[in-house]
C-alpha cells in the first residue's frame, strides 16, 4: 500500500516508520521546510529513543521519502493519514484549523478513491466534518472514505507502543475502508475495535482523560498521606496490585503535562459542556493538576523557612517526562514561572532540552553550585544515581525536593541532605 503521512511531527514520523516496518512504502509530507530537510538527511527534529536508526534504515532502503509538495503527495498515494497538530483553542476546545486545511487540500487533489484516516486526536464529529470539507472542495465527484484511527503511543516509548499496541481502534461506516484498515494492521497482534467514527473519536479522549484522572487522584491522595505521614508509594502499590485498578499512572509527582493530556482533558470537558452534560470529575482533575506544581513550591518554601525570594533554586529536568525533549505544558515551567514571580533565582538543567534560557546550565554540577535547594522535576534516569555527596558540597544549603519521588531518601539523608518528597515518608 502507498501511504501518505501528512504532518511529520512526533506521531506522523513514528507512524510512518512503523508502516515501513510493516512492509509499506511511505511518503511523509510537512509544510515545515526545516523538518523535511532534517528528515531527508536521516535526522529527527525531536528526541525519541530508537527512532533515528529506523529512519536511516528506511531512507536507505527507499521505503520512506519526504516532501513539501502537497498536490503530488495526495495524488500519488492511496491511504492518507492526517497527523497534524490539534492544539487547544482559547475556549478549551480542540483547534481544528490544521486538520481542516489538510481536508481542503485532499478535496482539491482527490484523483481516485482514497481512504483518509485521522490519527490526530480530534473531537467527536470530526470524521463527518472532514467528509463535508473534502466534498466541498472536490472538483469532480471521486469517492473516498474517512476513518478515525486514534493513536495511543507515548512519547519516550513511541516505537514500542506503536509496534505493540494494546488495541487498534478503527472507526468507519465503510466496509471497503474497514477491509483496507484490517489489511494494513494484519501483522500487529492485538485486539481490533471496529466501531462508529464517533465512538472511535470518543475512545481517544476517554482514554487520555482516564489516565489524567488517575494521576490527579494519586496526587490529591498524596497530599492527605503527607498530612498523615503515610508513604504514598505503599498506597499506590497496595491499590495498583488490584488488577481492576492496575499500577500504571499511580505515581505521585508534579502533575501531568505534555502535548496531549492537558489539551485533551480540556477538549472533552468542552465537548461535554456543549452537550449540556458537564464532566464534573474531569473539571476536578484539571483543578488538582494545576495545584500540584504549587504544592511542590510549598515544599520548597517549607525547606527554606517560608520564602523563596533571592534564594537560588536548582531545577533538574525541563521536559514533561523522561526520554523526551517535549516541553509542551511541562510542569517544570509552571514551577519555574511561579518561582520567578516570587523572585527566586533559577538555574536549570535537562539532558535533552536546550531551552536557550539564560538560567540553563550545561552540567548538573554547574546547576547546583551555590543553590539553596535542588528540585527534581523530570524523572530522567541520569538523575537517579548522582554523586550526592559531591553535589551537596557545591550547594549553599542541603535541601532536596523530589518532585518525582524517584530518589532514595535514605542515601540522601545519609550524606546530609534534608529530603522532601511527595508523601515519600
Ligand X SMILES: NC(=O)c1ccc[n+]([C@@H]2O[C@H](COP(=O)([O-])OP(=O)(O)OC[C@H]3O[C@@H](n4cnc5c(N)ncnc54)[C@H](O)[C@@H]3O)[C@@H](O)[C@H]2O)c1
- Catalytic residue (one of 83, 225, 260, 377): 260
**Alpha carbon distance 191, 233 (integer Å):** 32
Residues within window 172-191 making contact with ligand X, judged by CB under 6 A: none
Tell me the closest approach of the beta carbon of residue 296 to ligand X, in angstroms. Answer: 24
C-alpha cell at 76: 500519488
**Alpha carbon distance 314, 46 (integer Å):** 25
Residue-wise over 408-418: b if at least 16 C-beta within 10 A, else e?
Answer: ebeebeeeebe
**Alpha carbon distance 346, 402 (integer Å):** 16
User: In the chain, how many H helices and how many E strands?
Assistant: 16, 13
Yes or no: say if 303 and 420 are a contact pair by the CB < 8 Å rule. yes
Tell me the closest approach of the beta carbon of residue 14 to ligand X, in angstroms. Answer: 8
Q: Which of 84/316 has CB closer to ligand X?
A: 84
Establish if 77 lies at the interface with ligand X (CB under 6 A). no
**Alpha carbon distance 261, 154 (integer Å):** 11
Q: Which of 257/421 has CB closer to ligand X?
A: 257
Yes or no: say if 129 and 96 are a contact pair by the CB < 8 Å rule. yes
Establish if 201 lies at the interface with ligand X (CB under 6 A). no
Yes or no: say if 201 and 126 are a contact pair by the CB < 8 Å rule. yes
Segment lying near ligand X (by CB under 6 A), choices 54-62, 80-88, 216-224, 374-382? 80-88
Annotated catalytic, 260?
yes
Q: Which of 4, 5, 12, 303 binds ligand X (CB under 6 A)?
A: 12
Q: Which of 27, 77, 86, 209 binds ligand X (CB under 6 A)?
A: 86
Q: Which of 27, 109, 121, 312 binds ligand X (CB under 6 A)?
A: 121
Establish if 7 lies at the interface with ligand X (CB under 6 A). yes
Tell me the closest approach of the beta carbon of residue 246 to ligand X, in angstroms. Answer: 20
Looking at the DSSP assignment, which residues form a beta bridge with residue 116?
A: 80, 146
Establish if 29 lies at the interface with ligand X (CB under 6 A). yes
Instruction: Classify residue 88 by its DSSP letter.
Output: B
* Coil, strand or helix at 46: coil
Tell me the closest approach of the beta carbon of residue 101 to ligand X, in angstroms. Answer: 5
**What's the start-to-end Cα distance of the chain, in Å?**
55
Establish if 249 lies at the interface with ligand X (CB under 6 A). no
**Alpha carbon distance 318, 329 (integer Å):** 10
Segment lying near ligand X (by CB under 6 A), choices 98-106, 173-181, 295-303, 362-370? 98-106
Instruction: State the pairing for strand pair 345-349/373-376.
Output: unpaired
Residues within window 34-53 making contact with ligand X, judged by CB under 6 A: 35
* Coil, strand or helix at 420: strand
Establish if 209 lies at the interface with ligand X (CB under 6 A). no
Establish if 149 lies at the interface with ligand X (CB under 6 A). no
Closest among 151, 268, 328, 292 to 220, alpha carbons compared: 292
Establish if 83 lies at the interface with ligand X (CB under 6 A). yes
User: Which residue is closest to ligand X by CB?
Assistant: 9
Q: Which of 3, 5, 6, 177 binds ligand X (CB under 6 A)?
A: 6
Q: Which of 1, 31, 163, 361 binds ligand X (CB under 6 A)?
A: 31
Count of residues near ligand X by CB under 6 A: 26
Catalytic residues: 260
Residues that bind ligand X (CB under 6 A): 6-12, 29-32, 35, 83-86, 98, 101-102, 120-121, 151, 153, 155, 259-260
Amino acid at each position: 500500500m502507498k501511504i501518505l503521512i501528512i504532518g511529520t511531527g512526533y506521531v506522523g514520523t513514528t507512524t510512518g516508520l512503523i508502516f515501513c516496518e510493516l512492509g509499506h512504502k511511505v511518503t511523509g509530507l510537512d509544510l515545515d521546510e526545516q523538518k523535511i530537510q532534517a528528515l531527508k538527511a536521516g535526522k529527527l527534529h525531536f528526541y525519541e529513543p530508537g527512532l533515528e536508526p529506523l529512519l536511516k534504515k528506511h531512507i536507505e532502503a527507499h521505503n520512506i521519502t519526504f516532501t513539501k509538495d502537497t498536490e503530488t503527495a495526495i495524488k500519488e498515494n492511496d491511504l492518507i493519514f492526517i497527523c497534524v497538530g490539534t492544539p487547544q483553542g482559547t475556549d478549551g476546545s480542540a483547534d481544528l484549523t490544521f486538520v481542516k486545511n489538510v481536508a481542503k487540500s485532499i478535496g482539491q487533489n482527490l484523483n481516485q478513491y482514497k481512504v483518509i484516516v485521522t490519527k490526530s486526536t480530534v473531537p467527536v464529529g470530526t470524521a463527518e466534518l472532514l467528509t463535508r470539507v473534502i466534498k466541498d472542495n472536490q472538483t469532480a465527484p471521486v469517492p473516498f472514505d474517512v476513518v478515525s484511527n486514534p493513536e495511543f503511543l507515548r512519547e519516550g516509548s513511541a516505537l514500542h507502543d506503536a509496534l505493540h499496541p494494546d488495541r487498534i481502534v478503527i472507526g468507519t461506516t465503510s466496509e471497503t475502508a474497514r477491509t483496507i484498515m484490517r489489511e494494513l494492521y494484519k501483522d500487529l497482534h492485538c485486539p481490533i475495535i471496529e466501531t462508529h467514527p464517533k465512538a472511535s473519536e470518543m475512545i481517544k479522549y476517554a482514554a487520555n482523560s482516564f489516565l489524567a484522572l488517575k494521576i490527579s487522584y494519586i496526587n490529591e491522595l498524596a497530599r492527605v498521606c503527607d498530612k498523615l505521614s503515610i508513604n504514598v508509594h505503599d498506597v499506590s502499590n497496595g491499590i495498583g496490585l488490584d488488577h481492576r485498578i492496575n499500577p500504571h499512572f499511580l505515581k505521585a509527582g508534579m502533575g501531568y503535562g505534555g502535548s496531549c493530556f492537558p489539551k485533551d482533558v480540556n477538549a472533552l470537558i468542552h465537548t461535554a459542556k456543549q452537550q449540556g452534560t458537564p464532566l464534573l470529575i474531569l473539571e476536578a482533575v484539571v483543578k488538582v493538576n494545576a495545584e500540584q506544581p504549587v504544592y511542590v513550591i510549598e515544599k520548597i518554601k517549607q525547606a527554606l523557612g517560608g520564602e523563596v525570594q533571592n534564594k537560588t533554586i536548582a531545577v533538574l529536568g525541563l521536559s514533561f517526562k523522561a526520554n523526551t525533549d517535549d516541553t509542551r505544558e511541562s510542569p517544570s515551567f509552571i514551577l519555574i514561572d511561579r518561582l520567578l514571580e516570587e523572585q527566586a533565582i533559577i538555574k536549570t538543567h535537562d539532558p535533552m532540552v536546550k531551552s536557550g534560557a539564560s538560567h540553563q546550565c550545561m552540567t548538573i554540577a554547574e546547576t547546583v553550585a551555590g543553590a539553596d535547594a535542588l528540585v527534581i522535576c523530570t524523572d530522567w534516569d541520569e538523575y537517579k544515581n548522582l554523586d550526592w555527596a559531591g553535589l551537596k558540597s557545591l550547594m549553599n544549603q542541603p535541601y532536596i525536593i523530589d518532585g518525582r519521588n524517584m530518589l532514595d531518601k535514605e542515601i540522601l539523608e545519609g550524606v546530609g541532605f534534608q529530603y522532601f518528597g511527595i508523601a515519600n515518608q
